[in-house]
Structure 1
Amino acid sequence: MLAHLSLVVLCCLQGLLGVPSASPPPPSLLSDSFSVLPLTVTCDEADVTTAARFGVRVIDEKRKHGFKFKLHQVQGSKYQQLSEGNCDIDVDAKLLQTKCHFSNPKPEDHCDVFRQGERGTWATCAIKLSVRGKAAVVTTYECVTKPEPSNKQVSRLRPDFPALLPLNDPTALKAAHKAVRKFNKESQLGHFFDLLEVSHVTIGYMQPVGMITWVMLALVETKCPREATHTFAPCTPLCPHRAQHFFCETFYYNLQDKVGQLDCELYLPKDSSPLPYGQPEPDCGPLFHQSPEFSACKAQLSHPVPSVHNICPFPLKVILPS
């Protein structure tokens, strides 16, 4: 992490010191043509790893914020055999956070995990499955999501590692909004993009520029075309399946109040078919972090950590506004 941080800071110091820098690199395009092997869950207790992987895949499919996870270890299991080929399974598993944002089309098996110095996260999950013949479903899961190691452990054992910041930290939000403005200014795409979420934030000290905040953020395409620069209407996001998404990383120089170069990856929409003539884009409601579902998730989490995107319990008890 420190080597990477030093390299980027030295590269981007040119802009801070008035030396002309190269134009930003174009975003990388990630194809969604990944092969996903089917997982067949059975009532064979020797095949508990497949049941756990199936549970993790369902957790990732239901994610609407943060990063995907992958199975690290099965910590325990209990099988209740009902009849031939029918059973209920309880699995306790440890999951590791990957670097794939939930909007990334990669399956979790193709995703790298955060290294220790990058301040990743793990989760311990209790997953319940129901197997009826050849059909398996996840009925419930509940997870505790935590950074590993914690800021307290890092300050004692590895003070050279950056510290995790809460995702709603004022400096992080300021950096993220500056990054979105920079993105829209430099973009040549047909629509404006809005902040979907702040995904990961760390802070550290680097000579000679002082404190630096490292931000990962997700952007979503809006309905506003680029030529609509003087509209007073809000730029509402396109529906998730019809929107382009970007996942970006950048550095914010706290003392200089400046955002560094954006490094972004593009995820194409799942449905890019044109709408019938005259038909407006559908309205899919608020983003997750402004939704009743997010409020329900926060209320039902047993040990929420503000610096990570906690895995919401399933099923959620969502109270819709009347």
Structure 2
Amino acid sequence: MKALVALLLLTQLLNCKSIPVGPFQPLLSRVIDCDDPESEEAAAIAVDYINSHNLHGYKFALNSIEKIKVLPRRPTGELFLLELDLLQTECHIVNPLPAENCTVRPITDHVVEGECDVKLLKLDGSFSMLSRKCHSKPDSAEDIIQICPDCPLLAVLNDTRVINAVNLALAQYNGEHEDVYLRLVEIGRAQILHLPDSVSVEFAVVVTNCSGKDAQEHVDGCLPEDQVRFGFCKASVLTEGNITVSCEVYGHQAGVTHDHLTKEHLGGEIPSLSKGFKHHDLRHFHRGPAQDTSDSSSQEAPVATPPAAPVAKRDVGAVLDPSHPPPPIDPIPGHRLPLCPGRIRHYQV
């Protein structure tokens, strides 16, 4: 009986017609230019996310979109992979002004440049951040000196001259404004000038629940108000004792507490992570759900790799003429390379 059943199954298998399976057809990535409105929308959302999740230092502005790649995502949506070039603004993170309204630091002010690789998901017409990987660095001293030989360079944030200048400036401001007492939450940046011999500093502060008189009696009890308010100060301290300091205090921002500043660094000289550094690196000071990892909940569809582009001879005059840039080479019919990098919004570092 078992032999009969086995024979019947074998007969059915032999009679089955094979179904030909064609070669797998991978999906092609969609090509858009770095200055395409869709690219700029994705970049704007990424920069806003980076600024809103930055723990220390200053807000950044988009300078250019260096690269972009759009990949299909299974089961739905698209992945946008962008390389962004950013520039530090004059707005500290406690400043409520939107980054797009902040002034980008001039290159002679020893500018800090940021570079970010970001991944966004576009689903049903809306973008959301999946991951980002950023770092920032000051422009090289050689470049600054070449542009402006007399411009001061960034100083190390825990330099004793910097810390002393901040303490003197804040003490003078509090002495001149007895109705409110400010406490230091972070030194933003500093520059040491030799002619005249002075220290220029910028630092963030928080308004406490004390007056100047209260602070004289129990300064350790001077804590941020329930409706926390932050401020930002700039000061110049000359070695002979002349101090110029100005502070701007911002109104209460609903939902904004900056607990990492008010609880971890209140009254401290500088955050421990920035000791020995001249600026607050984007590499270290980020928080939020979009970490430096890939999107584990989605799958990128296989993407065909275009064949190597052939080398084409071009007219030298046309290549050198900026008003007639050469078009990207089409590696395969119907597929072209994106026009990247995009436009420079401020200046080239």
Is TM more than 0.5 here? yes
- Per the alignment, in what secondary structure is the counterpart of residue 158 of structure 2? coil
- Distance in 1 of aligned mates of 2:276 and 2:146: 20
* Cα shift readout 1:191-218 (whole Å, capped 9, x = no counterpart): 4110111111111222xxx411111111
Structure 2 residue corresponding to 1:287, chosen from 262, 273, 276: 262
> 4+ runs of 1 displaced by more than 4 Å?
282-286, 313-317
Evaluate the alpha carbon distance shift between residue 125 and residue 211 of structure 1 in structure 2; reply closer, same or farther with a 3 A threshold: same
Q: What secondary structure, in the 3-state scheme, does the structure 2 residue paired with 1:176 have?
A: helix
Would the alpha carbon gap of residues 113 and 243 (structure 1) be closer, same or farther in structure 2, given more than 3 Å must change?
same
Q: 1:72 to 1:164 in 2, by over 3 A?
A: same
Other structure's SS at 2:68 match: strand
Match of 2:280 among 309, 315, 318: 309
Residues in 2 aligned to 1:158 and 1:232: alpha-carbon distance in whole angstroms = 43
Question: Which residue of the partner structure matches residue 167 of structure 2?
Answer: 177
The C-alpha deviation readout for 1:122-166, integer Å capped at 9, x for no partner, is 101111112222442212212121112x22443466331112101
TM-score scaled to structure 2, two decimals? 0.63
1:277 equivalent in structure 2: none
Alignment of 1:8-87 (within 5 A): 45=32, 46=36, 47-82=38-73, 86-87=77-78
CA RMSD in angstroms comes to: 3.1
2:148 aligns with one of 158, 161, 165: 158
Number of the residue aligned with 2:110: 119
2:235–2:246 Cα contact (<8 Å) kept: yes
Superposition deviation, residue 83 in structure 1? 5.9
Aligned-partner residue type, residue 243 of structure 1 = V
Pair 1:167-2:157 in alignment: yes
State the Cα distance separating 1:310 from its structure 2 match.
1.3
Q: Write the letter of the residue equivalent to 2:203.
A: L
Aligned residues with identical type, % of pairs: 22
Bigger relative contact order, structure 1 or 2, given CA contacts below 8 A and separation 6+? 2
In structure 2, do the counterparts of structure 1 residues 132 and 61 end up closer, same or farther at CA, with 3 Å as the change threshold? same
Answer with 1 or 2: which has the greater Rg: 2
Partner of 1:36: none
Spell out the pairing of 1:261-272 with structure 2 (5 A cutoff): 261-271=244-254
The counterpart of 2:99, out of the listed 108, 118, 122, is 108
Q: Distance in 2 between matches of 1:288 and 1:108?
A: 25
Corresponding residue for 2:336?
none
Other-structure match for 2:192: 203
Q: How far apart are the structure 1 equivalents of 2:192 and 2:253?
A: 35
Q: TM-score, normalised by structure 1?
A: 0.68
Task: Give the match's secondary structure for 2:185.
Answer: strand
Partner of residue 214, structure 1? 200
Does the aligned pair in 2 maintain the 1:64–1:288 contact within 8 Å? no
The answer to whether the Cα contact below 8 Å between 2:173 and 2:246 also exists between their aligned partners in 1 is no
Count, aligned residues = 249
Give 1:248's aligned residue: 233
| Larger relative strand fraction | 1
The one-letter amino acid of 2:194's match is Y
Which secondary structure state, in structure 2, belongs to the residue aligned with residue 167 of structure 1?
coil
Q: Deviations over 1:208-248 (max 9, x none)?
A: xx411111111111233444231264423346xx2222211
